[in-house]
Amino acid sequence: MLNIPSQSFPAPSSQQRVSPSAQSGRNKVSLKPGHSLMDWIRFAKSGKDLTGLRGRLMEVTQDELQKHNKREDCWTCIRGMVYNVTPYMDYHPGGEEELMKAAGIDGTDLFDQVLCSTVSIHVYFGKH
């Protein structure tokens, strides 16, 4: 018997398909044009000061973290590292609303629960 795949390409469950979340069981949003993963990587490597600290590292207290809980000034903590996710909002595959759930707080559990962590955070924000 010939091994002819019965499914079309990409496969129905493939992440390459744009399908309503109810159908796929996932909650990814449609990103605006120019906001793909490749665009984010290009932007992150462009040399722009994305952290707002010009590459400086600082100790962040809980009080300080809490102050950065707005769309235009949003920090979150993942596994003990604090990230300025403000520039990432429009690039987040789960959408701005989801990312804002971790604004100003420790977002590790949320991050782990929703499969964001399938890829290392270093891929998105570089080594810290």
- Minimum distance of ligand HEM from residue 31's CB (angstroms): 10
81: left (phi over 0), alpha (psi -120 to 50) or beta: beta
Residue 106 pairs with which residues in a beta bridge? 77
Which one, 15 or 61, has the nearer CB to ligand HEM?
15
- Residue number, nearest CB to ligand HEM: 94
Applying CB under 6 A, among 40, 50, 74, 93 the residue interacting with ligand HEM is 93
Applying CB under 6 A, among 119, 122, 126, 128 the residue interacting with ligand HEM is 119
Site stretch for ligand HEM (CB under 6 A), options 6-14, 45-53, 55-63, 101-109: 101-109
- Minimum distance of ligand HEM from residue 64's CB (angstroms): 17
Q: Is 107 in the site for ligand HEM (CB under 6 A)?
A: yes
Contact 60, 53 (CB under 8 A): no
Q: Residue 73, Cα to own-chain centre: how many angstroms?
A: 16
**How much is the CA Rg of the chain, to the nearest whole Å?**
17
Q: How many residues bind ligand HEM (CB under 6 A)?
A: 25
Contact 109, 65 (CB under 8 A): no
Enumerate residues 6+ apart whose C-beta is below 8 A from 82: 60, 65, 75, 76
Binding site for ligand HEM (CB under 6 A): 15, 26-28, 76, 78, 83, 85, 92-94, 98-99, 101-102, 107, 110-111, 114-116, 118-119, 121, 124
